[in-house]
Amino acid sequence: MAELIVGSEATAAGLLTSHRLRTRYVRLYPDVYLREGVPPTAALRGIGAHLWSGRRGVVAGRSAAALHGAKWVDGNRPAQLLWPNRHPPEGIETWSDRFDEDEVELVAGVPVTTPARTALDIARRCRTAKAVAAIDALMQATRLKPADVELLAERYRGARGIRAARGVLELVDGGAQSPRETWLRLLVLRAGYPRPQTQIPVRDEYGQLVAVLDLGWEELKLGLDYDGDHHRNPEQFNRDVRRHDELTARGWIRIRVTSRDTEAVVLRMLADAWSKRT
């Protein structure tokens, strides 16, 4: 059975009876059904929204990002669609902005905004921190470059939200490997520090990789790492201790940030380390 179906089409074609439709599928949108037991991911919600539009809408925004392979897209949020319908059902957001043919491509047979157009829409429509994190993830998943989005922003110069989008694009960095790494980088920038590098490789005297720091300043040998829950694993913890020792032996100051650290605590640790290196 397909994961997503248009109910009226499936029953008219004799693929399903009305009873099997009710018992084997869950209604996602009007006349669009998701197979029972299948999680409604952001990507599936986007495809479902396209089906709801009669296959005429273009999947956009966070739904497009999910279909391009971006991680951390919330599957509980409404699907987003470029489609001129001002009264979408619950669970779908639509907008009718202009788009050109080169801003749409097929993903899994579904029309989806290109990574550049997806990033521009997100930058125009989301708050700065969320937009930066989403575009960071999109850059991780695709070959998207900020310059690609900037060219597209020039095409729509003067349109609503373009000025804010340019500000977002100045902050994105595809080196971030999680939303919390993006949060950490933005915190550092807001505090007035120079823009840090991301994913900094540190090698030993034989050229062997010792560690990769989430962000920092190589010339100062000062780095920050965001430690997620996976670091609570005993084996990972032991590897991390050895990694920390290797970095220290090579003159690095490594600041470890966890989910329990407040912004004030992070900035205090950074200020202390910065004073030792400048």
* pLDDT tens readout for residues 27-69: 999 999 999 999 999 999 999 999 999 999 999 999 999 999 9
Q: What is the CATH number of domain 179-277?
A: 3.40.960.10
Is the separation of the CB atoms in 8 and 52 below 8 Å?
Answer: no
Residue 148 CB partners (closer than 8 Å, separation 6+):
115, 116, 119
Reading the chain (278 residues) residue by residue, the pLDDT tens digits are: 589 999 999 999 999 999 999 999 999 999 999 999 999 999 999 999 999 999 999 999 999 999 999 999 999 999 999 999 999 999 999 999 999 999 999 999 999 999 999 999 999 999 999 999 999 999 999 999 999 999 999 999 999 999 999 999 999 999 999 999 999 999 999 999 999 999 999 999 999 999 999 999 999 999 999 987 555 566 766 677 788 889 999 999 999 999 999 999 999 999 999 999 98
> Whose CA is closest to 271, among 217, 205, 203, 193?
193
Q: CA of 19: how far to CAs of 15, 22, 23, 24, in Å?
A: 12, 5, 6, 8
Task: State how far the Cα of 13 lies from the Cα of 140, in Å rounded to an integer.
Answer: 41
CATH 3.40.960.10 in the chain: give the residue spans.
179-277
Is the separation of the CB atoms in 243 and 213 below 8 Å?
Answer: no
- Which pLDDT score, from 0 to 100, does residue 239 have? 74
Task: State how far the Cα of 256 lies from the Cα of 242, in Å rounded to an integer.
Answer: 14
Task: State how far the Cα of 7 lies from the Cα of 52, in Å rounded to an integer.
Answer: 10
